[in-house]
A and B are shown apart, each in its own frame.
Chain A
Amino acid sequence: MSHRYADGRVALDDISFAVEANECVAIVGPNGAGKTTLFLRLCGVLAGKPGQATIGGLDPAVPEHRKKLPEVVGVVFQNPDDQLFSPTVAEDVAFGPLNMGATPDEAKARVTEALQAVGMPDAGERVPFQLSGGEKRRAALAGVLAMRPSVLLLDEPSMFLDPRGRRELIAVIRALPGTKLIATHDLDLVLDICPRVLVLDAGKLAADGPAEKLLANVDLMEKHGLEVPFRLRHA
């Protein structure tokens, strides 16, 4: 897959990888590496050439496939305030299922199920803006889970979270079924959750392999603007 923005900047440069069903893969790299662009291409928000990617059997660049993508691919964006746009948490979580044609009763059942999955069973009537950072992140995740996607794309899930919020989120992500792609700078989170890592830098795929092995490689980490996680440095 390649992607060039209208201003000529190349965000993805001929990258190629495959992810098996139920695999959990981290995508790491410095700022501007192309992680978010990759996600936006995979979920069909950014247009591209057909035939470059398939996800759950759908090509995000094909308009007919793109309509079905929200049922297959769920994206949790970097900033939960971009994702929590409804007046209450319950309305927000129900947004996707209602768009997919669920009846209000079905949507309510999905809301209950999704909020339960992220450990916020009583948050339905709360106002998104008044949630804490960790709660916002989990509410945004619930909004995606309510659509029951088979593939989850999580963009910087632990960003701006305090240690407790981060721990709670890691526990929630770990318990989620399905295929997970996690773009992050938080390499300790990667070690906790993802057995496999893709290193992306300047739009190119620099490495693909087991997390413990790649993240312990000092030369590789430094070359791509990353650091060996504290835990591996002192192992």
Chain B
Amino acid sequence: MTLAFRHRPVPDSALSRWDSRWKLAAVLLAVGGIAALDHLAPAAVALALGLSLLILARLPGAWVRVRLFLFALAALPFLLVLPFTLEGPGWDIGPVKISERGLIAGFAVFCRGLTIGCFALLLVGTAPLHHTLAAAHKLRLPGLLVQLTLLAYRYAFLLADEMRRLRVAMRTRGFRVRATRHGYRALGHATGALLVRGAERADNVAAAMRCRGFDGKFHTLTAFRTRAADIISFVALVAAAAAFVLWDRLGLS
């Protein structure tokens, strides 16, 4: 069976060996710090750090590039809009005025967005999702939320496959996506069928879970063990994020 999604093996690296609890805590704190940066210089250095960590993680280049491109696309509107909307000295190009402050602010937001993307990829790419979620549970994320996220992740694959089969079934009967009333109706029906199947499956999964004693608590086989390297890595990343924030706030450029 060809799947719409595939689970990717985690490449061995210092970052994949980092205890998921320490890694998650460090990344969350670092992301919090990076999100608070206002100036371009610390944001650009933070981006360099994020990219360096991605290289250290030895993740497949194509996998990283595609996802970083999506983060870049999400951050791009700021880069395109801020130079034309913020006031201050700048350059006049015909009827358009480009603000220097806006351009720098746009680049700063763009760098911040990409850096956060780097850290997100680091979390997703250097440990299986269920390890990261089990770590989140150890860091006091409610078990039911962890369970729900795992179920959503697990069944996204199945729903995607069902959608693919529906599309094939529609195509074999001559359906092509067109902006016509019939096209919209057919897509609506297919989406409805998918939702109904999803709801039915949710009932069946709930029954199967109850039959195996599910009581709302999250349990896992994933075992965690803290080593000195985990703590050192945590301190290093959090210290780096704190340094960026200090640099940003005190303007040490």
B158 close to A (CB within 8 Å): yes
A residues near B74, Cβ cutoff 8 Å? none
A70 at interface (Cβ–Cβ under 8 A)? yes
Chain A residue numbers with a CB within 8 Å of B221 are: 90-91, 94, 98, 104, 107-108, 111
Contacts of A43 in B (CB 8 A): 211
Q: Which of B119-134 contact A (CB under 8 A)?
A: 128-130
A187 to B163, CA, bound (A): 33
Are B153's CB and A82's CB within 8 A?
no
Kindly state the separation between the CA atoms of A82 and B206 in the bound complex, as whole angstroms.
9
In this assembly, does A16 line the interface, its C-beta being within 8 Å of a C-beta of chain B?
no
Closest to B130 in A: A87
Looking at the complex, which of B15-23, B44-52, B95-103, B212-220 is the stretch in contact with chain A? B212-220
Q: Which residues of B contact A179 (CB under 8 A)?
A: none
Size of interface on A: residues with Cβ below 8 Å to B:
39
Q: Which of A40, A82, A86, A88 has the most CB of B within 10 A?
A: A82
- Work out how many contacts link A and B, with CB atoms closer than 8 A: 92
Interface of A is mostly: helix
Given A86-B150, A87-B128, A40:B207 Cβ within 8 A: yes
Contact (Cβ within 8 A) A87 B3: no
Asked if B208 contacts A83 (CB within 8 A), the reply is yes
Contact B150 A75 (CB under 8 A): no
| Interface residue B201 (Cβ < 8 Å from any Cβ of A) | yes
Given A99-B212, A99-B214, A130-B7, also A85-B207 (CB < 8 A): no
State the Cβ distance, B127 to closest chain A Cβ, in Å: 12
B residues in contact with A99, CB < 8 Å: 212-215, 217, 219
Contact between chains at B208 and A82 (CB < 8 Å)? yes
A129 close to B212 (CB less than 8 A):
no
* Residues of B close to A130: CB separation below 8 A: 3, 7
**Residue ID in chain B nearest A79 by CB atoms:** B204
Interface residue? A45 (CB, 8 A): yes
Q: Is B225 an interface residue (CB 8 A)?
A: no
A158 to B26, CA, bound (A): 48
Q: How far is the CA of A13 from the CA of B182 in the complex (A)?
A: 45
Q: Does A127 belong to the interface (CB within 8 Å)?
A: yes
Taking CB as reference atom, which chain B residue is nearest A95?
A: B212
In the complex, chain B residues 159-188 whose Cβ is within 8 Å of any chain A Cβ:
161
**B14-67: which residues lie under 8 A (CB-CB) from chain A?**
none
Residue in contact with A143 in the complex, picked from B201, B207, B212, B220, CB distance below 8 Å: B212
Beta-carbon contact of B211 and A100 below 8 Å:
no
In the complex, A115→B217 CA distance in Å? 24
Candidate in B154, B161, B222 with the most chain A CB atoms within 10 angstroms? B154
Q: Give, as a whole number of angstroms, the nearest-CB distance from B114 to chain A.
A: 29
Chain B contact residues, CB within 8 Å of chain A: 3, 7, 128-130, 150-151, 153-155, 157-158, 161, 201, 204-205, 207-215, 217, 219-223
Residue ranges of A at the interface with B (Cβ–Cβ < 8 Å): 40, 43-45, 67, 69-71, 73-75, 77, 79, 81-83, 85-88, 90-91, 94-96, 98-100, 104, 107-108, 111, 127-130, 143-144, 147
A-B contact pairs, 18 of them (CB 8 A): A40-B207, A44-B211, A45-B210, A45-B211, A71-B213, A73-B211, A75-B208, A75-B211, A82-B207, A85-B208, A88-B130, A99-B212, A107-B221, A128-B154, A129-B154, A129-B158, A130-B3, A130-B7
- The 3 tightest CB contacts between A and B, nearest first, are A98-B219, A99-B213, A96-B212
| With A86-B130, A95-B214 already in contact, 7 other A-B pairs whose C-beta atoms are closer than 8 Å | A43-B211, A45-B210, A73-B211, A82-B201, A85-B150, A86-B150, A91-B221
